[in-house]
């Protein structure tokens, strides 16, 4: 009979749930709550994205003007992200600055590019002429390429066989104007920031070494000569 057991044993209830399984409903409830929160967050993010799209198109007034707005945002952000390139491109607003190679800054740059790519998708291609559609396609390719490359965290390896972060300041000098006192002041301000710039690159390279991410040994042997050339002079005036 149901409910009867062996002599001396306590009969379990007919539909008693073992204690080890009684926690499953709570676990499932928590998992469901987390899933619902995630879905709500996704819906909120999608709504925010649509809001940004609407704002971009409304403020620009036309798809082509919206595209030009994105071009301008990217250009200004690129100059701020890489002041050395800004100087070499003839934009001297950032002549007193150096790039920030920290992982945090790199993640911020990738996030900016990801946001731009999302906004680019908002622009209806049928509202663009053939030339603008080509520009939009190339712009999207550039942003996607940056994001794809960023997945590998290339800032852990900031040099190649003959150049890198240590030679960039030398190339910048040729593009730096020295027409007046203000130019020299900006250049001196940049020089004062170089030690921090170099230390951060060293930290990045050490991270790469710890993770097994480095130049091949065959390439590294040649790359070291470019470092030796900078470190060898005994007097600062002999350094290139």
Q: Residue 149 above 50 pLDDT?
A: yes
Q: Which of 98-102, 133-137, 189-193, 221-225 bottoms out in mean pLDDT, i.e. has the lowest?
A: 221-225
130 alpha carbon, distance to own chain's centre: 31
DSSP H helix total and E strand total for the chain: 8, 0
d(CA 65, CA 86): 24
Higher local confidence (pLDDT), 188 or 38: 188
Prediction pTM value: 0.73
Half-sphere exposure of 208 (CA within 13 A, CB side): 19
What percentage of the chain carries pLDDT values higher than 90?
Answer: 62
Q: Residue 117 above 90 pLDDT?
A: yes
Look at residues 158, 147, 160 and name the one whose alpha carbon lies nearest to residue 116: 147
d(CA 47, CA 221): 53
Distance (Å) of CA 237 to CA 101, 162, 218, 230, 234: 27, 22, 32, 11, 9
Q: Residue 239 above 80 pLDDT?
A: no
Q: What is the pLDDT of residue 161?
A: 76
Q: Which two tokens stand for residue 57?
A: 């198109």
Q: What is the pLDDT of residue 58?
A: 92
Half-sphere exposure of 16 (CA within 13 A, CB side): 10
pLDDT per residue over 195-223, tens digit each?
999 999 999 999 999 999 988 887 777 66
Across the chain, what does the average pLDDT equal?
A: 83
Residues 119/52, Cβ–Cβ less than 8 Å: yes
pLDDT confidence bin for 86, thresholds 50/70/90: very high
- Report phi then psi at 70, rounded to 5: -65, -40
Mean pLDDT score, 29-41: 53
């Amino acid at each position: 009979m149901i409910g009867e057991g062996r002599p001396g044993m306590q009969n379990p209830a007919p539909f008693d749930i073992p204690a080890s399984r009684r926690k499953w409903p709570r676990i499932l409830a928590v998992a469901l709550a987390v899933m619902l929160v995630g879905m709500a967050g996704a819906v909120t993010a999608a709504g925010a994205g649509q809001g940004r799209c609407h704002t971009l198109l409304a403020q620009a007034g036309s798809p082509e003007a919206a595209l030009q707005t994105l071009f301008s945002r990217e250009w200004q952000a690129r100059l701020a992200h890489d002041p050395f390139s800004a100087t070499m491109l003839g934009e001297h607003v950032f002549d007193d600055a150096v790039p920030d190679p920290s992982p945090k800054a790199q993640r911020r740059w990738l996030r900016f590019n990801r946001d731009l790519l999302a906004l680019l998708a908002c622009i209806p291609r049928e509202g663009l002429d053939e030339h603008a559609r080509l520009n939009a396609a190339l712009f999207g390719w550039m942003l996607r390429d940056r994001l794809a490359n960023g997945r590998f965290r290339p800032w852990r390896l900031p040099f190649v066989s003959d150049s890198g972060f240590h030679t960039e300041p030398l190339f910048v000098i040729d593009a730096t104007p020295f027409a007046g006192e203000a130019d020299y002041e900006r250049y001196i301000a940049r020089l004062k920031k170089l030690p921090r710039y170099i230390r951060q690159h060293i930290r990045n390279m050490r991270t790469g070494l710890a993770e097994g991410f480095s130049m091949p040994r065959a390439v590294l042997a040649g790359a070291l000569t470019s470092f030796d050339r900078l470190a060898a002079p005994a007097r600062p005036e002999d350094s290139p």
